[in-house]
Amino acid sequence: MSLIAIDLDGTLLNHRNEISEENIKAIQYAQERGFEVVISTGRAYFDVRKICEKAGLSTFVIGTNGATIHSKDEKRISAAAIDKNHVLSILRWLDERNYYYEVFTEKAIYTLKKGREDFYNEIKSMSSADLDADMKELVEMAERQFDQFGYVLVENYHDILKQEEDFYNILACSFDKKKLEEGWAQFKEFDELLVVSSADHNIEITSKNASKGIALEKLVSLTNCSLDQAMAIGDSNNDLSMLQKVGYSVAMGNAKDEIKNVCTATTLKNDENGVAHAIYQYLENLVIQK
């Protein structure tokens, strides 16, 4: 059995945060022919489930950058949480330096009320400014971030730490490139943590035991699929670990060159149904090989 792993933001989702009809049909076409389809994303599982329900799709889900895996019948089959002592030090460091941050658990996305307001106001202010095309796209991407399901607003990071839940992913945002680089350097020093990025305005922190690639390996072992025959589709730095695990890796047309350079193929952009295009080409190539 072969497997297809698909990132969400910038890949399966278009700029309206929707899965197009063309992409839905392509996924269903692959499933009807016995292919296992996996959504692999930095988003929380509960948010992904809402998106998939709206699209009428049922798939395995690798969530929070590989920290969780859920089956098609909504059971959690794997989890890798961040040690709570590390969560404390991360949040304290981010808070002292006025980063906007979100903390992902099984039930919610926790964020500070004031931090959210400040970051949203910054986005609105930049939206009305004269920006180049790349920066304009980045600001729009940051604004779409607030469309996620499951936000819980709190007064301070101590309120987050009081929650009797496991913490799977911490996302920190800034439009200040130097500030992001400082955050990346700070948390890269922790051997127990993994730092990735899903866009130029963020860094994402998980346990070192959590990545899309590690989760994909776990899922393959559970489903008797083959990584050699598997396809992965993505567009960002946090997709690299899974793109490097499979036999057929596909970069989105809107991906940066660093992603395209490690992939075996490049498809169309996310607003051009690039996922559907990649799936049909993949299935055609498999038939030819047989």
Asked if 274 and 265 touch (Cβ cutoff 8 Å), the reply is no
Backbone angles phi, psi at 135, to 5 degrees: -70, -35
| Active-site entry in 7, 9, 166, 235 | 7
DSSP 8-state class, residue 97: T
**Cα–Cα dist 30/59, whole Å:** 12
Distance of CA 49 to the CA centre of its chain: 14
> Around Cβ 22, how many Cβ atoms within 10 Å?
16
Report which residue type is found at 76. Answer: R
Distance of CA 127 to the CA centre of its chain: 24
Asked if 200 and 51 touch (Cβ cutoff 8 Å), the reply is no
Asked if 189 and 175 touch (Cβ cutoff 8 Å), the reply is no
Asked if 279 and 27 touch (Cβ cutoff 8 Å), the reply is yes
Q: Note if 176 is an active site residue.
A: no
Edge-to-edge strands of the sheet including 231-234? 76-79, 68-70, 60-63, 36-40, 3-6, 231-234, 248-251, 265-266
**Cα–Cα dist 1/49, whole Å:** 24
Task: Cite the active site residues.
Answer: 7
